[in-house]
Amino acid sequence: MAAGGEQTQSQYIIHHLTNWSVGEGFWTWHVDTLIWSIGLGLIFLAIFRSAAKKADTGVPGKFQCFIEMIVEFVNDTVTGTFHGRNPLIAPLALTIFVWVLLMNLMDLVPVDFIPYLAQVIGEHVFGMDPHHVYMKVVPTTDLNMTFALSIGVFVLMIYYSIKIKGIGGFMKELSFTPFNHWAFIPVNLVLELVTLFAKPLSLALRLFGNLYAGELIFILIALTGLYQLPMHFVWAVFHLLVIPLQAFIFMMLTIVYLSMAHEDH
């Protein structure tokens, strides 16, 4: 899908930022987000399963060393941050880090490559109008995906808060923090509930905002035509810092929030 031709620059940008959607209203499904996120999740499982099956207790190969470095990095992060006892946290942190990293890495794919293939397939196989074929390949540029991840973390936060502290203890924590007096219960509830709901909100918006901005810049670079490749390379090199950093931040905050949920005051 070229920048020029029948599309204006505004139409080109809007087309790239539009998801392949099915349904209407609340029940709209972003099919491309589902396909790429599930597909990358399966790739993550296949890679780590292969590494586990081929693991050698002797001299490990480069592939095994690479996987062990990731696992050790995540394990050290969990050990140094999480202060409770829960065998779920380390596997959860590893899953979040690698899955989000893989989804973020799709941002490095040239913005016209996969959407153009989708248009060709849609036109010649299904007889569709190419301008009505949409394909966003970076799941983390979709608010639905980032909110789905953060809501999952939020549910775990509530679950472990109630499991560790009990319903009474959890409600007491909300009612008597930070001011430990019954007269301040309304003030405490407002402050603590805002803080509680701000956690998943900030998780989702931080990841979405950084990746969406990066993708938008790649799209704007694609409009430059002749200078697209060198400019794309320069921005991609810089973006290599953003991609793992955002995956690490999402993982780190998840560990911190779940660690707070396990604290029994």
CA-wise closest residue to 150 among 100, 106, 199, 192: 199
86 a catalytic residue: no
Q: Rounded CA gap, 100 and 120, in Å?
A: 29
Rg (CA), the chain: 22
206 a catalytic residue: yes
CA-wise closest residue to 108 among 154, 141, 60, 130: 141
Q: For residues 233 and 240, is the Cβ–Cβ distance under 8 A?
A: no
Helix (H) or strand (E) holding 210: helix 185-222
Strand, helix or coil for residue 19: coil
Q: Rounded CA gap, 28 and 20, in Å?
A: 10
Residue in the structure block whose two tokens are 């805002």: 194
Structure tokens at 120: 């060709």
210 a catalytic residue: yes
Q: Rounded CA gap, 64 and 73, in Å?
A: 14
Q: Rounded CA gap, 40 and 43, in Å?
A: 5
**Does a cis peptide bond (omega within 30 degrees of 0) precede residue 110?**
no
Among residues 86, 175, 206, 259, which one is catalytic?
206
Q: Which amino acids are annotated catalytic? A: 202, 206, 210
